[in-house]
């Protein structure tokens, strides 16, 4: 639904579209309008007072405004929502920046469904496991072929594929099932191998589901896909996300692999992720009120380490040079020995990966993005603990993984955290006063700062000249928020009293150093791929940002710190959880799964870890935005303008 | 080795070729020369005295001949063996018949190897599981593909097939195996699916074996095949046969199926046959002194019921009209849950069947015979409890099973038994005196009579007019051996004192009736197939007799009683255990296994059990040799000559 109302901010006279019910603080943040807010949008600090000068907004009741103020039109922006066109007067200093546009690059539902439509148009709709209702003729003396043969004949009549194959396990019990069901049965058939997976009594054609799962190092997401509904794209009838229960054994893949070297370590980690998956499946089955036996297949996408742990395969050599995984391609299997919950008897497919650090999650996203179908060159990025990047078009693809470090996931950052409730995910710093405006995940009391918040904060402090081009604090400007901490200078984003942790939330010099390394690694990785591909950033048709983290970053600010290349904003596309999206498409399109295998095979993996080219690029990128000013002309220009 | 000596029998002046060491009684029997012998060839009755009138024979010492007799040249035929050309004078009346030729129809080793050569020439040699030794390059930073991918690449370089597939179970442990073996490994790859089944350290290419198994209702045979040796045919390096341990639960398939209806009955029978197979495999592995892990695959042939029990599939509906098996085709599987002995980790293939009573054993033999490659029409027969018959050529095949009854396996016969040691397997009756000459299996003291002995006996008594054309005893001729028994007339083949059971071995009127039904059913089945195929017996290019029973029957005498059609003797071919032979060929020729599937699919099964055409033919065949004299002109002529 397009935004239907217009909110005009005064005194800067900026009008921004908004939808009914949109939070006013968020609208202001999107519009690049600064409003002081230090409680993360919970309506408790009272700093985000605005005056409604025209129209009206809805407001939750609060005790921070007197009845008199209220009558004068004052509201707390964080507790107000759009109900109609309105004019909002901001009593505090404010300023305009380019981040206005960046949010439009986030993929809308409409764009996502267009992508799905394009994929199905190209690869066709054919669920990985097909379901056929067959009314078998009763055997008689003139037609007494084997029970399995009778089913096979009926399946062949429904679908012109190869001869259906009945494994011994299916043949056992088949005679009884057929007779108990009076010869009217539903057959589940793997569309790649023509293997018959199950014969169920009666007609279950209408109740046919798949589960798509993205196993992330941090979170696991699952969706229930209706394979029967013939809609433009696959329709997810339920979905659920949870932390990967492995997380208590280590935050990143390396610590998980280390844990596997302990006795029964692999089995423990395998069991943990299976418990998470089983819980998610149970959730979505309950939500959608379906019979778990109507799930015929599961498509898994995940990074290479996660796939090893899922399949209970030792991942040791992933982390030892020269970084060889045991496998990147796992053929379809049963749920049998994988530790799925009883009752779930489905065929398990997974999206193939390329190397130890470019896994099926990346291949899944690349395939979904369509970049391998276009002659124009695209850059695909998924930034997490590792920055995985893919460069290419319909003829070639290069990929690499750069150990970005966990800074953007909160690792190695004094007040860092993942994007969990209470994490500061958006920051705007007034360049004059250095006072921040913040928004937290879930609008909870702030307890830390996550990746997107860090990028915002560093970018704003850099533009405010409080961080210099070497990525060090500069004491040019005085502020109560800038102080000497235990390990050098630091910036206080929230004072203890405003937080949920009774400690200041700060950005330290050490944090800055870690962020510099991370952004430099990602950018350097991109540069190496581009050089290997013989293209320049300006040649790129599009830059595709995938992953949950990517979804929330402000492209403008990521460019400002030199994490992303400076390109016209419209060339950036957000894809959200592209890994899950690809798994979803594969569940309903056999040829799409085939395409992922083709991509995984054809992609050239470039190892950055021992590359001197990478080291040189990395050193060159340890500067804000970069040692090469020509690569960031607009950032440099804006910087000059602020001088 | 061709027979090198010539033995001349006097006074009938018949010369017959013989090899060094051949038993003289057997040579006489083959030559159609009658010598009285009632002890089964054990050298205890002393009745088979002959005189060596020229040359010499070797003889075991015996106490039944005096030194004087010995000096005069007398020997016991049963205790003498050929050492050079000899002239043998038979003091007893003798006669000639046509059975002389029949033995030449038994497939010689040379013929069998010619058949194997023809099969491999047509379908090529490619073991169902291939074994490749691969010296993998060590991974380095410029070549760090996954371990599974590294193996796959090496396998592809060895064999131009599809991409090898590594199932999860193989990937687990792969990294360790490769590194422990210093990257020099042997890969076992299923040649049909390109699935990698095992990676073993070092070079095992030279030690590559398969096991071929024929699961008969009565006996199970196994052979160890060397898949590495590049000989003209597959070379069996060891073989073993034993009774199917299921036998104590019932002698025929129907009683086995009945047993399956009991609680845990199926599991018991499954376990029994697996114990037999495991014992045979253990035998041949020990004999050949090989490592059981070098067996990469197993090919099983058996009738439809045996395959159900082997695969642990309920066989109930096989015996209930309209006689539908659960399956006739079982795809390749692992030894995993089938109950094979630990250590045997191989891929299990089976020869597909056609219907409840025409199983993979028949298809295996038909494929091996080559009849489906020739434009001329052949008739394939396997006579046991059921007579399975196949008619066809390279364009069409019809098959049927007639419930022959167990008479030829000794069932329902007063003194009947299977062809075990002590069973009378060959009989010759003097048409004048009605005195018999017998040979037993293993030359043991006679304890009963098996199928081939019964056919000989009935044919000889029929030609001697002691059995009339209705299949009843006629008292025309007097003899101490013909007497009134408990249930009518009977013929005494051995008196109690000459047996190992202290009971007379007899042929009764009831036995005769059962034999008549059996031979009539088989012949009637053939007639129905021929009518359906629009051909006459005289149109047949060949009649192929398969099965252990077939191997020992005397074609001449089987024609005499109307079990086999009267055709020139050279059109008959014995194939012995053709089911095992087909399994052996499949183990080394993937395309031959494919051919068996093609034959199983294309064969048209004709149900005789409720066919009135069959009933009419059956009634017409309840006569010796048949109601239609024109079908047996030579038998009728011989009968007239004896009158």
CB A544 within 8 A of CB A379: yes
Q: Which of A3, A33, A32, A35 is nearest to A18 (CA)?
A: A3
Q: Which of A149, A322, A330 sits opposite B141 (nearest CB)?
A: A322
Pairwise CA distance, residues A598 & A395, whole Å = 12
CB B392 within 8 A of CB B556: no
- ipTM of the complex model: 0.84
Pairwise CA distance, residues A160 & A381, whole Å = 40
CB within 8 Å: B314 and A139 = no
CB within 8 Å: B324 and A150 = yes
The count of C-alpha atoms lying within 13 angstroms of the C-alpha of A30, restricted to the half-sphere facing its C-beta, is 19
CB A300 within 8 A of CB A213: yes
Backbone angles phi, psi at B247, to 5 degrees: -60, -30
**Residues 6 or more apart whose Cβ sits within 8 Å of residue A535:** A377, A391
Interface contact A612, partner B, CB < 8 A: no
Q: Which of B265, B211, B276, B209 is nearest to B242 (CA)?
A: B276
Percent of chain B clearing pLDDT 90 (strictly above)? 66
Instruction: Collect all residues of chain B within an 8 Å Cβ-Cβ radius of residue A197.
Output: none
**C-alpha torsion sign, points B501, B506, B507, B511:** negative
Mean confidence (pLDDT) of chain B = 89
CA distances from B96 to A450, B38, B99, B466, B593 (A): 106, 20, 8, 19, 45
| pTM as predicted | 0.84
Instruction: Collect all residues of chain B within an 8 Å Cβ-Cβ radius of residue A140.
Output: 322
CB within 8 Å: A330 and B171 = yes
Helical H runs in B103-210?
A: 109-123, 147-158, 168-171, 174-180
pLDDT computed for residue A103 by the predictor? 32
Can you give A509-549 as a three-state secondary structure string? HHHHHHHHHHHHHHHHHHHHHHHHHCCCHHHCCEEEEECHH
A 435-494 → B contacts, CB under 8 A = none
Pairwise CA distance, residues A129 & A190, whole Å = 4
Instruction: Collect all residues of chain A within an 8 Å Cβ-Cβ radius of residue B312.
Output: 168, 172
Q: Which of A141, A146, A324 sits opposite B147 (nearest CB)?
A: A324
Q: Is the pLDDT score of B161 beyond 80?
A: no
CB B391 within 8 A of CB B542: no
Interface contact B149, partner A, CB < 8 A: yes
Q: Is the pLDDT score of B606 beyond 50?
A: yes
Confidence of residue B631 (pLDDT cuts 50, 70, 90): very high
Helix, strand, coil shares of chain A as percentages rounded to 5? Answer: 35, 25, 40
Per-residue pLDDT tens digits for A508-557 = 999 999 999 999 999 999 999 999 999 999 999 999 999 867 667 899 99
CB within 8 Å: A171 and B607 = no
Q: Is the pLDDT score of B40 beyond 90?
A: no
B 201-230 → A contacts, CB under 8 A = none
Q: Which of B141, B146, B150 sits opposite A610 (nearest CB)?
A: B141
Pairing of strands B49-59, B5-10: unpaired
CB within 8 Å: B149 and A356 = no
Pairwise CA distance, residues B211 & B292, whole Å = 11
Pairwise CA distance, residues A365 & B262, whole Å = 56
Tokens standing for residue B231: 């000989």
Chains A–B, number of C-beta pairs less than 8 Å apart = 150
Q: Which of B174, B314, B333 sits opposite A167 (nearest CB)?
A: B333
Helix, strand, coil shares of chain B as percentages rounded to 5? Answer: 35, 25, 40
Backbone angles phi, psi at B257, to 5 degrees: -65, -40
Pairwise CA distance, residues A541 & A568, whole Å = 10
pLDDT computed for residue A105 by the predictor? 33
CB B179 within 8 A of CB B196: no
- If DSSP codes are grouped into helix, strand and coil, which group holds residue B92? coil
Q: What angle do CA A279, A283, A286 make, to 5 degrees?
A: 135
Give the alpha-carbon dihedral of A468, A470, A475, A476, to 10 degrees: -40
pLDDT computed for residue B49 by the predictor? 80
Q: Is the pLDDT score of B102 beyond 80?
A: no
CB within 8 Å: B150 and A607 = no
pLDDT computed for residue A102 by the predictor? 29
Q: What is the mean pLDDT of each run of 10 residues along chain A (643 residues)?
A: 79 82 84 69 73 88 79 86 89 36 40 82 93 96 95 90 91 97 97 94 96 93 90 78 86 90 94 96 96 97 98 96 96 93 95 97 96 97 89 98 85 86 89 88 88 95 94 85 91 91 92 95 97 97 85 88 95 91 95 97 93 96 96 94 73
Per-residue pLDDT tens digits for A570-586 = 999 988 889 999 999 99
Interface contact B267, partner A, CB < 8 A: no
A 164-203 → B contacts, CB under 8 A = 165-168, 171-176, 195
Instruction: Collect all residues of chain A within an 8 Å Cβ-Cβ radius of residue B330.
Output: 166, 168, 171
CB within 8 Å: A173 and B147 = no
CB A139 within 8 A of CB A607: no
Nearest residue of A to residue B175, measured between CA atoms: A326
Pairing of strands A397-402, A378-383: unpaired
Nearest residue of A to residue B149, measured between CA atoms: A327
CB within 8 Å: A327 and B609 = no
Backbone angles phi, psi at A156, to 5 degrees: -60, -35
What is the arithmetic mean of pLDDT over B157-182? Answer: 92
Place of tokens 């083949």: B493
What is the arithmetic mean of pLDDT over B599-620? Answer: 95
Interface contact B318, partner A, CB < 8 A: no
Q: Which of A142, A144, A171 sits opposite B326 (nearest CB)?
A: A171
Q: What angle do CA B48, B53, B57 make, to 5 degrees?
A: 65
N-terminal to C-terminal alpha carbon distance within chain B = 42
């Amino acid at each position: 639904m397009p935004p239907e109302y217009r909110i005009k901010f005064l005194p800067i006279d900026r009008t921004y579209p908004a939808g009914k019910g949109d939070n006013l603080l968020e609208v202001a943040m999107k519009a690049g309008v600064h409003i002081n807010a230090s409680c993360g949008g919970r309506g408790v600090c009272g700093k985000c007072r605005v005056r409604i000068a025209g129209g009206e907004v809805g407001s939750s009741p609060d005790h921070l405004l007197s009845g008199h103020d209220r009558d004068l039109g004052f509201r707390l922006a964080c507790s107000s929502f759009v109900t109609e066109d309105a004019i909002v007067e901001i009593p505090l200093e404010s300023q305009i920046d380019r981040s206005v546009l960046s949010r439009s690059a986030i993929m809308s539902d409409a764009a996502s469904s267009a992508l799905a439509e394009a994929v199905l148009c190209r690869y066709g709709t054919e669920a990985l496991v097909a379901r056929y209702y067959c009314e078998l003729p009763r055997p008689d003396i003139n037609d007494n072929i084997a029970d399995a043969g009778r089913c096979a004949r009926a399946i062949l009549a429904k679908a012109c594929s190869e001869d259906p194959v009945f494994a011994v396990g299916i043949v056992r019990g088949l005679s009884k099932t057929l007779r108990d069901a009076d010869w009217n049965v539903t057959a589940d058939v793997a569309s790649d191998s023509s293997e018959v997976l199950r014969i169920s009594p009666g007609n279950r054609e209408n109740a046919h589901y798949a589960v798509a799962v993205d196993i992330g190092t941090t979170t696991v997401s699952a969706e229930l896909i209706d394979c029967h509904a013939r809609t433009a794209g696959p329709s997810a009838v339920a979905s659920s996300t949870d932390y990967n229960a492995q997380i208590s054994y280590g935050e990143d893949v390396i610590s998980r692999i280390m844990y596997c070297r302990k006795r029964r370590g692999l089995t423990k980690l395998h069991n943990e992720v299976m418990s998470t998956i089983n819980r998610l499946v149970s959730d979505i089955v309950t939500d959608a009120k379906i019979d778990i036996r109507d799930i015929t297949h599961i498509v898994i996408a995940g990074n290479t380490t996660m796939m090893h742990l899922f399949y209970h395969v030792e991942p040791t050599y992933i982390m030892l040079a020269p970084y060889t995984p045991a496998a990147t391609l796992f053929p379809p299997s049963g749920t049998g020995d994988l530790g799925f919950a009883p009752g779930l008897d489905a065929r398990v497919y997974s999206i193939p990966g390329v190397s130890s650090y470019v896994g099926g999650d990346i291949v899944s996203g690349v395939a979904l993005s369509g970049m391998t179908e276009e002659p124009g060159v695209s850059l695909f990025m998924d930034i997490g603990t590792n920055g995985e990047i893919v460069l290419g078009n319909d003829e070639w693809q290069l990929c690499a993984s750069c150990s970005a470090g966990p800074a953007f996931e909160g690792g190695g950052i004094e007040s860092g955290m993942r994007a969990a409730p209470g994490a500061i995910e958006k920051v705007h710093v007034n360049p004059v006063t250095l006072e921040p405006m913040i928004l937290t995940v879930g609008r909870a009391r702030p307890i830390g700062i996550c990746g997107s918040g860090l990028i915002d904060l560093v970018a704003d402090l850099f533009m405010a000249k409080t961080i210099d081009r070497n990525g060090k604090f500069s004491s040019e400007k005085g502020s109560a928020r800038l102080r000497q901490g235990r390990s050098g200078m630091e910036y206080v984003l929230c004072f203890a009293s405003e937080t949920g942790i009774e400690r200041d939330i700060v950005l330290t010099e050490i944090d800055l150093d870690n962020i510099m390394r991370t952004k430099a690694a990602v950018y350097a990785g991109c540069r190496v791929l581009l050089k290997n591909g013989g293209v320049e950033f300006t040649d790129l048709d599009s830059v595709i940002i995938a992953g949950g983290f990517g979804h929330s970053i402000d492209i403008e600010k990521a460019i400002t710190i030199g994490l992303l290349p400076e390109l016209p904003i419209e060339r950036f596309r957000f894809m959200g959880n592209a890994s899950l999206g690809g798994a979803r498409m594969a569940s309903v399109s056999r040829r799409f799964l085939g395409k992922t295998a083709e991509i995984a095979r054809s992609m050239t993996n470039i190892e950055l870890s021992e590359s001197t080219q990478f080291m040189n690029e990395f050193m060159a990128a340890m500067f804000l935005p970069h040692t090469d000013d020509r690569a960031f002309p607009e950032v440099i220009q804006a910087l000059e303008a602020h001088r």
